[in-house]
Structure 1
Amino acid sequence: MPSLPLRVLVLEDHAFQRSVAVNMLQTLGCDQVFEASDGAQALALLDTIGTVDIALCDLQMEGMDGLEFLQRVGASGQVKSVIISSSLSADLRRAVHQMVALLGLELLGDVGKPLHSQVLAELLHKFIDRPVSQPEPASAVPLASETSVRRALAEGQLHAWYQPKFNLHTGEVCGVEVLCRWLHPTRGVISPALFMPVLERCGLLDEMLFAQLDQALTVQRSARAQGFALNMAFNLQAVQLASAQLTSTLKSLLTHHHTCGSSLTFELTESGLLEAPATSMESLVRLRMMGCRLSIDDFGAGFSSLQRLCQLPFNEIKLDADFIRNLEHEPRCRAAISSTLALGETLGMTVVIEGIETDAQRRELLALGCTQGQGYWYAWPMAGEDLLHWLQQRNDVSAVDE
């Protein structure tokens, strides 16, 4: 057995199981294997021996248990990665997986009990073969200044970009989500995270929205001329619903572009709607009366108030991407997706799945009954001209195939 350049700590309070784990790791070729019977002993040992590559960690122990130990080493950096070895139920171990991630620790795997040599060997090699990432700079990138954001808005540097939504069965484009990108003349594309908070703080969200609407409706009209009917979806903050100008300005823009409200969708995050006042409710009703669709965005990421979902006039649910990322490994995510699809059908609401990044995810979602989705597997966000060219290319390819 070749030697593995690994320092491994076994944290297990049962003497025989601890001995089995230590012997198995040594047989697999680990250079240095240490052992401790509880978290306190393990912390003391780490202070003496220094950082270890892997902690093979039980969870239930007398004295300091595995949960507290993980909390401690998550802050200290004395453990590079963790393998969970526990006889706790699967749902509790899944919760610990989330806890490990939140602590900033790398979870190599969950081997359960009893230990199996082959499974353990695969996880050891997973650690050795993993790509070594460069540490991120400690200093955070500062937000853009108010002056520069106001200038960008005034000079038309904030552009509408478009990410297609598609039919999972046919690949047909159902519509697009309109996103904002700052194309700076010297710095290139600036992340929305650096300017959106500034727009909100300065009360400029409406001005940005109306500029986006004007750009997007121009692109929509060009797409229609090419034979493509695109529904345009815009992100709307709950605070914007209180604006008396929202619906009146929207009506003017629709008239100017010779289109109707049914070609638009407004996506609102659920967290901002928990205490929606009467004025917000009025705006939502007026948008629906104009024919616009209303989508509850990132559903499941906030409080998921079913009461609010029933009270407010939504006709679309957009399921948060975290459910898709964990679909293959978390049975509960599968159940949540199925339940949301059933809820949408019962309430007469479309369900859109966001965050689809692989064909395997698409096939899994199809098996669950999903019909509409969005994500990098299908298309990245793109500028208006690129969208029109992309649509035409797809159409030309389809025509040749026929």
Structure 2
Amino acid sequence: MPSLPLRVLVLEDHTFQRSVAVNMLRSLGCREVFEASDGAQALDVLNAIGPVDIALCDLQMEGMDGLAFLQRVGASGQVKSIIISSSLSADLRRAVHQIVSLLGLELLGDVGKPLHAQVLAPLLKKYLDSPVTELWTAATVALASEEAVRRALVEQQLQAWYQPKFNLQTGEVCGVEVLCRWLHPINGVISPAVFMPVLERCGLMDELLFVQLDQALSLQQLARHHGFALNMAFNLQTAQLANGELTSTIKAILARHATPGASLTFELTESGLLEAPATSLESLVRLRMMGCRLSIDDFGAGFSSLQRLCQLPFNEIKLDAEFVRTLEHEPRCRAVISSTLALGETLGMSVVIEGIETEAQCQQLLALGCTLGQGYWYARPMNGEDLLRWLPLRDAAQALKL
């Protein structure tokens, strides 16, 4: 078994189960495995050994329980990812998933009890493969300076990256979500977590959007020459809709690239849309009038308003990835997905499923009638050059399956 460069803390009050977890992680190749019988002891261990990559965390225990432990480490940076291992009911564990997210921690998975190596191993690989993991260094945890981010924007170091969207039934690539990475001349690829909050604080999100539009539409034209028609989806914040020049600038960029609005999708998270002012609604209507598609991103992650969904001119729903993560173990998630598919069909809206990471999830989603999706099971984000190389290779692989 190859050694994995991982530091893992096992938080479990049952002596035998803790021993099983520790030995299992070591057998899977984890470089360093630590253990604690309750939250207080776990905090002492962290203070003694420093940060860990993963905390395998029980929830219900004597002394400081798992919830209190999560609260304590949420803002400390001592734990990078959490794996929940608990015998609590699925609905309670799902509520804990929300707590983990609200505390700013990454939920790597929920393995329940008893532990199984075949369930734990993919989660360790998922952590190691995560782009965020690659970028976790002392130099990149802190936010970049405003001066550095402004310079990066001017010098075009902020580059569009692309994550494909798929037709689950045919395997066809039907579009891409346009993301952003900072290609630093010294530090390499830097995560959006380091610079995106700075762009927001400095009011530079529009400028970034316009730069990304130019980059993505140029790539879209190259892809079209190679026989690939890709819809380009851009993330848009609700606050940006208040800019009276937003839609006219987008229209001018489309004209410059001789591209119809129908080739673009703008994704907005549902939070902030519930009380959107008239100026924001006007921007949404104008984008639709230009032919652009509008998608509600991370649907179900906030406080969804079905009334607002009917009132706003959206034609796509992107269901939050959290529903897929617990699909195999949580009947309620299957019910939510089925209901959202039915809602989308009734409202004439397409439904995209986010966060597909395994073959099992894909098959269950197909059985539920899902058509569109994206996630690491299909493809990770990549730069434009890699995307153009990947598309024909993907086509050839699909042809071999037919």
* TM superposition score category, shorter chain reference: 0.7 to 0.9
* 8 Å contact from structure 1 (residues 299, 317) kept in 2: yes
Q: Which residue of 2 aligns with 1:392?
A: 392
1:177 aligns with 2:174: no
| Aligned mates of 1:108, 1:235 — CA distance in 2 | 28
Q: Which residue of 2 aligns with 1:166?
A: 166
C-alpha change, 1:371 and 1:67, in structure 2 (3 Å) is: farther
Q: Deviations over 1:121-160 (max 9, x none)?
A: x679999xx97x9998899821111111111111111111
C-alpha change, 1:326 and 1:396, in structure 2 (3 Å) is: closer
Q: Which residue of 2 aligns with 1:249?
A: 249
| Aligned mates of 1:270, 1:360 — CA distance in 2 | 28
Letter of the aligned partner of 2:238 in structure 1?
A
| Aligned mates of 1:365, 1:248 — CA distance in 2 | 39
1:217 aligns with 2:210: no
| Aligned mates of 1:55, 1:176 — CA distance in 2 | 35
SS in 2 for 1:272: coil
1:367 aligns with 2:361: no
| Aligned mates of 1:377, 1:336 — CA distance in 2 | 21
Q: Deviations over 1:54-103 (max 9, x none)?
A: 999879xxxxxx798555566689xx9997567xx764566468769989
SS in 2 for 1:273: coil
Letter of the aligned partner of 1:253 in structure 2?
I
Letter of the aligned partner of 2:311 in structure 1?
Q
- CA drift at 1:394: 2.9
Aligned residue pairs total 345
Q: Which residue of 1 aligns with 2:300?
A: 300
Structure 2: tracts of 5 or more residues without a match: 1-9, 21-36, 46-54, 74-81
| Aligned mates of 1:81, 1:397 — CA distance in 2 | 34
Q: Deviations over 1:35-70 (max 9, x none)?
A: xxxxxxx99xx99xx99x9999879xxxxxx79855
* 8 Å contact from structure 2 (residues 178, 233) kept in 1: yes
Q: Which residue of 2 aligns with 1:3?
A: none
Q: Which residue of 2 aligns with 1:240?
A: 240
C-alpha change, 1:318 and 1:223, in structure 2 (3 Å) is: same
| Aligned mates of 1:106, 1:259 — CA distance in 2 | 40
SS in 2 for 1:251: helix
* 8 Å contact from structure 1 (residues 108, 126) kept in 2: no
TM-score, normalised to structure 1, is: 0.73
* 8 Å contact from structure 1 (residues 167, 372) kept in 2: yes
Q: Which residue of 1 aligns with 2:348?
A: 348
Q: Which residue of 1 aligns with 2:381?
A: 381
| Aligned mates of 1:345, 1:126 — CA distance in 2 | 34
Q: Which residue of 2 aligns with 1:260?
A: 260
Larger Rg: 1
* 8 Å contact from structure 2 (residues 140, 190) kept in 1: no
- CA drift at 1:229: 1.0
The residue correspondences of 1:102-251 to structure 2 (distance < 5 A) are: 141-251=141-251
SS in 1 for 2:164: strand
Letter of the aligned partner of 2:253 in structure 1?
L
* 8 Å contact from structure 1 (residues 100, 106) kept in 2: no
TM-score, normalised to structure 2, is: 0.73
SS in 2 for 1:216: helix
The residue correspondences of 1:72-87 to structure 2 (distance < 5 A) are: none
Letter of the aligned partner of 2:283 in structure 1?
S
Q: Which residue of 2 aligns with 1:339?
A: 339
SS in 1 for 2:177: strand
- CA drift at 1:222: 1.0
* 8 Å contact from structure 1 (residues 9, 54) kept in 2: no
1:291 aligns with 2:291: yes
* 8 Å contact from structure 1 (residues 175, 230) kept in 2: yes
The residue correspondences of 1:307-322 to structure 2 (distance < 5 A) are: 307-322=307-322
SS in 2 for 1:180: strand
* 8 Å contact from structure 2 (residues 59, 65) kept in 1: no
